[in-house]
Amino acid sequence: ATTDGFFLVIDASDPQFEEGGIRQLLKSSGAESVEAVYAPNEPVRVPRRLAFGTAIVLLLSAIPPLAIAIDRLTPSSTPRVHPVPDMDDQPKLKTQAATLLFADRRTMRAPVPGTVPQSNLKEDDHFYRGQVEGKFADSFPEELGPITMELMERGRKRFNIYCAPCHGLAGDGDGIVSLRALQREDSAGWVKPLSLHSDVVRDQPVGKLFNTITNGVRTMPSYATQISPRDRWAIVLYVKALQRSRNGTISDLPEEMRSSLQAGEEK
């Protein structure tokens, strides 16, 4: 060991190594002690118990992934192991099903008595239900606002989207759905939609037309979820315009058009 903390070591694996000469060289250089360290020639061996234990651990650690691989590749009639449900099996109650959670065993619950909607109460029967004092209204509700061409055009577009497929663009009941149904050989039970120009429909108050769109009638379903109340009234307005187009009188024309029409008839 040197004064600055180092050890001088000479490896005997050198072919020119000679122990006596090395000792004399080191002592002549001032070494106070020269020690020969003999290392065993046999390689270092891992204890048998340690090797055996390691082998067992490795074999055991291979069992889980091997079992998973076999289970994954082998067809089975039972559901797979599902540690992460991913909301596939949701803890919920389905409609029309029974449950032990409530005393009456019904999953579908009525609103709690006294419950009030958070937003609009929809108290205006005229606007939301087409009724005034329990009867179908003969006029359009005030909440609808003024009757304008923009409202009429809105009604025409909504009519062409929701009504025309069955009733036809002109309201004669000859929509593409009805025509296709009548062409099918298995359509013996198909009933052609009623013409919107028939006396039965023309004589209905606007509130009843609104109610028909809202709640449906006979085979016609309700459109309350697809069409807002304002758009339903716009459709009713357009339907009344369609009906008026085939049942108008000369008094419906502007004054200047009446004069020219009457003059043409006199000629």
Residue 93 scores a pLDDT above 70: yes
Report the pLDDT value the prediction gives residue 264, as an integer from 0 to 100.
Answer: 57
Report the pLDDT value the prediction gives residue 240, as an integer from 0 to 100.
Answer: 94
Assess if residue 44 is contained within a domain.
no
pLDDT band at 70 (very low <50, low <70, confident <90, very high): confident
Domain total in the chain: 1
pLDDT band at 8 (very low <50, low <70, confident <90, very high): confident
C-alpha distance from residue 164 to each of 125, 171, 177 (Å) = 27, 7, 9
Residue 43 scores a pLDDT above 80: no
Assess if residue 118 is contained within a domain.
no
What is the residue whose two structure tokens read 């939609």?
193
Assess if residue 71 is contained within a domain.
no
Q: Which residue has the higher pLDDT, 177 or 256?
A: 177
Assess if residue 51 is contained within a domain.
no
Assess if residue 185 is contained within a domain.
yes
Assess if residue 28 is contained within a domain.
no
Assess if residue 133 is contained within a domain.
yes
Report the pLDDT value the prediction gives residue 87, as an integer from 0 to 100.
Answer: 84
Assess if residue 187 is contained within a domain.
yes
What is the residue whose two structure tokens read 């122990």?
19
**Which residues constitute the domain of residue 201?**
125-248
Residue 45 scores a pLDDT above 60: yes
pLDDT tens digits, 149-182: 999 999 999 999 999 999 999 999 999 998 888 8
Q: Which residue has the higher pLDDT, 119 or 223?
A: 223
What average pLDDT does range 5-17 have in this prediction?
Answer: 77
Give me the CATH number covering residue 145: 1.10.760.10
